[in-house]
Amino acid sequence: MMLLGQGVHEAKSQVVKLDYYYNREVHTVAGQPQRFHYLWEEKENTGYSIWGDAFKKCGATLDSLVTAPTKANLKGTAIYIIVDPDTKKESPKPNYITEADAEAVALWVKGGGVLVMLANDSANVELPHFNLLAAKFGMHFNNDLQNHVIDDSHFEDGAINTTGNPLFKTAQKIFMKDVCSISTQSPAEAALTKNGATIIARAKFGKGTVLAIGDPWLYNEYTNGRLPAGYENDKAANDISAWLLKQVPAGKK
């Protein structure tokens, strides 16, 4: 595990742990293999450094998990984020979520953990094994394509109105491009929809909470001002981070 929080945090600082095991894409830089895509420390468009900063502004500490989740390595974690598990197209030997992995995570959530699952459109994420985990909470990522955006001349096709949604205290209009929808049954429910399709789902499970989103979404490319005026993904990153931390049960260790 790699501790990435900066500065001095209070003892009660909550740990937000990002999966680096199911998503572990590598590209070549100066002839050397290098990890990239959805990493806390990655400041390029493909990274999560801006979202990580949003958590840190709320007083949280960032961490990562480079192995499969277990009761032992999830201990002390307040929020665990799994994003865009690899397909064979993205990794020659992808680490798939197993039934044992799903059971371990479900038990952790039941005890008070806050789980975030971020998928993608079905051409760019490994859904069958991801759905082993989602099913524990009454969720299923669908093999479809919603909010398709052809190019930068069609940003409005990815627009979603979030005014009044309890997940978004300040953001009123967000952008999500090429997402999958989510089917729900108890205990899950829709948290954000567009044109009848659920884009974000949530569930209470035991003492814990699950938030599922049909896209990696809050990576730097769409939180760093590249969007046209009127889109508020930067505010959404702050809103979602604050909401997730509020779901952590008081006194959870």
Q: What is the pLDDT of residues 75-130, one digit of tens each?
A: 999 999 999 999 988 888 999 999 999 999 999 999 999 999 999 988 889 999 99
CATH of domain 2-246: 3.40.50.880
Supply 170's token pair: 């300040």
Structure tokens at 101: 């992995």
Summarize pLDDT for 22-53 with one digit per residue, the tens: 999 877 777 777 777 999 999 999 999 999 99
- Would you list the domain boundaries of the chain? 2-246
pLDDT above 70 coverage of the chain, percent = 94
E strand or H helix at 18, and its extent?
strand 15-19
H or E segment and range at residue 109: helix 99-110
Q: What is the pLDDT, as a whole number, of residue 2?
A: 41
pLDDT score of 1 more than 50:
no
Full-model pTM:
0.93
Per the model's pLDDT, the better-predicted residue between 139 and 224 turns out to be 139
Q: State the Cα–Cα distance between residues 80 and 105, nearest whole angstrom.
A: 9
Quote the pLDDT of residue 144. Answer: 96
How many Å apart are CA 234 and CA 239, to the nearest integer? 9
